[in-house]
Structure 1
């Protein structure tokens, strides 16, 4: 870890809640809102989220699977996200979500009119704004956790 964490403190709660409470608590509320209020379908949500996790290299984010109403994406989904260009597991919305996330994180200047034309064939403007906000949250906060080594401190309950 790159930050000194008191021994009696949980690293995530300490960094996000105590180190900069005026920002960290608001940031964590935004991060939670992405999961609690998204109207995007689970597959397109997870395609974008996992693509950002792959770009960021966040260990926790790579391991996480969003659950909605008792459903999660299939085990092979992460591999399909890696191969979003060629996989036969994705419909066009899911494929575009992965592509948009990759471009957003690695080459946002390449998001041109031709891309938007394709995007707006399958998404409303509001959905693209929502997806952008989700991606921004995952990209920023996943990178924060990764660069400080907090992603290794986050352990899924199934891995304890």
Structure 2
């Protein structure tokens, strides 16, 4: 980790809560809101989130699985999402969520009329904005965690690294 964390401090709590007190707690609140208030189906949400985790390379994000009402995606879901272009197991909206996430993170200037035609045929404007806000959160905060090395040491309550893959 490239940030000096005072002895005895939890790295995640220190970086996200104390180091930049005017920004960190607000960022944490935005991140938490993405999980608490998203109305996207779990598989769509996770397809987009895992795609961003793959692009970012955030170890924690790659390991984590969102749980809703006791449900999580199955163990092979990450591999299917990673192969969204050829996967036959993903529903059309799930494939579109993965495609949008990858393109948003790597070639957002290339989102053309053909893509938007397909996307808008499947997703409402509200869902488009919601998913885009989720993507922004995951890109920003996953990259913060990855480039600082926080992803190598962070752990959230009730999350045991490696247990959900």
Q: TM-score range by the shorter chain?
A: over 0.9
- Residue 160 of structure 2 corresponds to which residue in structure 1? 158
- Residue 149 of structure 1 corresponds to which residue in structure 2? 149
Moved over 4 A (4+): none
Aligned counterparts of 2:58 and 2:132: Cα–Cα separation in 1:
19
Is 1:133 matched with 2:142? Answer: no
Aligned counterparts of 2:40 and 2:7: Cα–Cα separation in 1:
39
Deviations 1:104-134 (A, max 9, x none): 0000011111111000110001100000000
* TM-score, L = length of structure 2: 0.94
Long gaps (5+) in structure 2: none
Superposed, which structure 2 residues align to 1:2-151 within 5 Å?
2-151=2-151
Give 1 or 2: higher helix fraction: 1
Aligned counterparts of 2:154 and 2:76: Cα–Cα separation in 1:
23
CA RMSD across the alignment: 1.1
Count how many residue pairs are aligned between Structure 1 and Structure 2: 160
Paired residue secondary structure (1:158): coil
Aligned counterparts of 1:150 and 1:10: Cα–Cα separation in 2:
11
Q: Cα offset for 1:88?
A: 1.3
Paired residue secondary structure (2:23): helix
